[in-house]
């Protein structure tokens, strides 16, 4: 039935993955718009249950994966390359680090660079800490780095490392289902594998839609600041339509002409804004604060990584840490594939060290410049940011820029950066989703990529109508759980494969003599060939 529907529509897909993912997304939009209150309440209850019963699982899983990756890097497996033993990296270290920044972190930093430190500074989550005190400022920076430092990049690095290893060293398709070949065997290329890819597609859809929703709220605040535009649902839906249209145009142009050029432009603009704030802001205070923040973060990390609010029972961790981990996990398939594509030829030690520590260092600089500047302005009485951020975190960066010279120019630059960041996130995610929903030997059709860009916009609009920021947080916290479980199974599959690799055995022996199917030998390819009378057996790959 699905194969017939694919032919009628002229698509190039894996029908089970494409139509299941598209159907779930369409069903959500169809229910969320007319029944927005009911949908918001349902996900609110589900999120409450997940946070209460499984919040500890999120905390433990991400911290365990960080320990696992660091252990791999220093272990005997650290010298194994993502590719043949004689392969070398495709990009220089500097180019590679720059491309890691473009993997999507900019969308998060623009929204929370001011909002999170100020929020924790004004409302400390720890008992006995006085609001807006020196201790509150230190804790605010530590928590911001905890949320956007090593743990965030652990979630991205785990699928990136596994995808790169299996794709470049064992020539498997660059899909999430391929990572489970050591566990599932050839079932990874049938319904079991398709189910894994559906989870990855839905996670990416809702994760990017959440980012698009947050970006829309922030853009609405920016336009209100610059031009007095009203802040309401109509303006926000209009912004989503505009951003989705730009993303669809970019994704239609393809990776080189669309995504790459927009990414390059945005990195230059973001660095210009960063440099501007550093120069006109409290430069010495920023430098001193960054040095101290490194020590505070490293000293607090061992206990903070396993802190679960056991004795407090507040909503703080649900609203902050659990939301961040679930949000990041939902991005993991998309960012993981992106990182894998630029990391061929690197050793596991180089990969883990670069992916974990280089973006974390940039995060320190970003929060040091924006977060510390905002805290200093609040402490000195120059600005009153805490009340504004408490009411609406999307206004944070614009309220902060208002206290700097050339505030109008800086705010306009911020609006442009936000638009491009969220556009590149949407079009890059559309390319990755298209890759996850079709075979490697099938062409990438423009209309399929545009469909996924439109789906992200539709979900984002539905979430905003269903309750704004609270709905975004509730939906993503609930839906991040399945892929969090998949991340742990990824680690198990990767470790099994590395053990066989190190001992000189092929990973095929882990699945009792089965061979790696090449792209033409997967279950879906065989089915397609049977329909044309051209059937061939899989070729062994070692």
Which residue segments constitute the domains of the chain, with CATH numbers given?
A: 9-530 (1.20.1740)
**Closest C-alpha to 105, from 278, 332, 344:** 332
Distance CA 418, CA 410 (A): 12
Token match 């905890």: residue? 146
Q: What is the structure's pLDDT at 321?
A: 93
Distance CA 100, CA 516 (A): 30
The predicted model scores a pTM of: 0.86
Mean pLDDT by 10 residues, the chain (542 residues): 81 89 88 75 80 90 97 94 89 79 69 92 92 94 95 95 92 88 83 90 84 82 82 86 82 59 75 93 94 95 93 84 88 87 92 93 93 93 85 86 89 86 77 86 85 88 72 73 90 90 69 45 44 35 34
Q: What is the structure's pLDDT at 252?
A: 75
Q: What is the structure's pLDDT at 387?
A: 85
Cα 502 from chain centre: 31
pLDDT digits (tens, 9 = 90+) for 312-350: 878 898 889 998 898 888 888 888 988 898 899 999 999
Distance CA 174, CA 156 (A): 15
The count of residues in the chain is 542
pLDDT digits (tens, 9 = 90+) for 19-69: 999 998 888 888 877 777 777 777 778 888 888 888 899 999 999 999 999
Distance CA 294, CA 536 (A): 57
């Amino acid at each position: 039935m699905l194969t017939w529907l694919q032919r009628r529509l002229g698509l190039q897909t894996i029908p089970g993955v494409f139509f299941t993912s598209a159907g779930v997304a369409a069903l959500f939009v169809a229910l969320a718009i007319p029944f927005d209150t009911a949908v918001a309440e349902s996900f609110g209850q589900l999120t409450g249950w997940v946070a209460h019963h499984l919040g500890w699982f999120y905390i433990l899983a991400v911290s365990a994966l960080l320990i696992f990756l660091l252990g791999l890097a220093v272990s005997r497996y650290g010298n194994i390359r993502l590719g043949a033993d004689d392969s070398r990296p495709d990009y220089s270290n500097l180019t590679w680090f720059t491309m890691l920044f473009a993997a999507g972190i900019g969308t998060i930093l623009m929204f929370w660079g001011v909002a999170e430190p100020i929020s924790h500074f004004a409302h400390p989550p720890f008992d006995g800490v006085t609001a807006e005190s020196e201790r509150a400022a230190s804790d605010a920076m530590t928590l911001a780095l905890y949320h956007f430092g090593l743990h965030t990049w652990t979630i991205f690095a785990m699928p990136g490392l596994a995808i790169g290893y299996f794709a470049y060293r064992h020539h498997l398709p660059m899909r999430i289902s391929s990572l489970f070949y050591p566990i599932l065997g050839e079932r990874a290329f049938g319904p079991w594998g398709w189910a894994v890819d559906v989870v990855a597609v839905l996670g990416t859809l809702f994760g990017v839609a959440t980012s698009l929703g947050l970006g829309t709220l922030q853009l609405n605040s920016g336009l209100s600041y610059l031009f007095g535009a009203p802040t309401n649902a109509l303006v926000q839906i209009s912004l989503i339509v505009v951003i989705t249209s730009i993303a669809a145009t970019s994704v239609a142009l393809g990776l080189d002409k669309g995504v790459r050029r927009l990414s390059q432009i945005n990195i230059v603009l973001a660095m210009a804004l960063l440099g501007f704030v550093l120069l006109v802001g409290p430069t010495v205070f920023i430098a001193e604060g960054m040095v101290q923040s490194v020590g505070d973060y490293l000293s607090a990390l061992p206990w903070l990584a396993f802190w679960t609010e056991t004795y407090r029972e507040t909503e703080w961790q649900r609203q902050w840490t659990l939301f961040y981990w679930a949000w990041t996990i939902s991005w993991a398939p998309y960012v993981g594939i992106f990182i894998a594509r630029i990391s061929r030829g690197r050793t596991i030690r180089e990969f883990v060290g670069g992916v974990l520590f280089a973006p974390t260092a940039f995060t320190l600089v970003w929060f040091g410049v924006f977060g510390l500047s905002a805290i200093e302005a609040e402490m000195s009485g120059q600005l009153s940011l805490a009340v504004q951020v408490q009411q609406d975190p999307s206004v944070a960066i614009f309220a902060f820029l208002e206290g700097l010279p050339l505030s109008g120019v800086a705010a306009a630059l911020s609006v442009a950066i936000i638009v491009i960041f969220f556009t590149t996130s949407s079009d890059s995610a559309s390319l990755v989703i298209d890759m996850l929903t079709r075979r490697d030997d099938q062409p990438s059709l423009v209309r399929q990529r545009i469909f996924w860009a439109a789906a992200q916009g539709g979900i984002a609009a539905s979430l905003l109508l269903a309750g704004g920021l609270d709905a975004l947080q509730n939906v993503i916290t609930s839906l991040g759980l399945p892929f969090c479980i998949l991340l742990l199974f990824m680690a198990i599959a990767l470790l099994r494969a590395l053990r066989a690799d190190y001992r000189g055995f092929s990973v095929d022996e882990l699945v009792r003599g089965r061979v790696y199917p090449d792209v033409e030998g997967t279950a879906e390819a065989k089915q397609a060939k049977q329909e044309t009378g051209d059937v061939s057996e899989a070729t062994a790959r070692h």
